[in-house]
Amino acid sequence: MADALFLGIAVLTIGGAIAALELRSLIYGSIALMGMLGGIAGFFVMLDSPFVAMFQIAVYVGSIAVLILFTVMLVKRELIFKKIEDPRRKFAGIGLMLITMVAVGAVILDSGIHTITTGEDPVDFRDIGVDFLTYYWPALILMAFILAGSVMGALVLARREDFVENE
């Protein structure tokens, strides 16, 4: 049962990723992207971490995919993209992908993933929170600053110069 589920989710994820790249229609491409992100959430559920899975759905499917969809709908594709059909680009892309996957796979295999024991209790999300506030607090503060900086930057960029209050 678990193997069949794993295979199904893997097919959904990889198929969604390929479809997101290859489909001509941008809307269907972003729907495929949503399927891919949902598949990753499914992997997290299978790995006994529903907290991460739910955030994966809420943030990636619920927000980022909506943003992509919104952008795609508001932009006329013909205005910004020129169609460049060159088979060499495709092969170069596939080659690059294979090199990346082999490299990442080598790193993962070398990282001692064999020694991980399965069947342990799932990690409670409260423990994750405690870890964030104690051992990993510099990383948390750094991320908060980066996010605050990006929000401020977005506000500065989006400010309208010609807007008059209470005209």
- Site residues (CB under 8 A) for another protein? 27, 31, 34, 50-51, 54-55, 57-58, 61-63, 65-66, 69-70, 73, 125
The residue written with tokens 């199904």 in the block is 8
Nearer of residues 13 and 49 to another protein, judged by Cβ: 49
Burial of 125 (0-12, 13-18, 19+ CB in 10 A): middle
Q: Whole-number minimum distance, CB 51 to another protein, in Å? A: 5
Nearer of residues 82 and 126 to another protein, judged by Cβ: 126
Question: In whole angstroms, what is the distance from residue 81 CA to residue 95 CA?
Answer: 24
CB 6, CB 48: distance < 8 Å: no
Can you give the length of the chain in residues? 167
Q: Whole-number minimum distance, CB 5 to another protein, in Å? A: 17
Q: Whole-number minimum distance, CB 47 to another protein, in Å? A: 14
Which three-class secondary structure state does DSSP give residue 4? helix
Nearer of residues 17 and 54 to another protein, judged by Cβ: 54
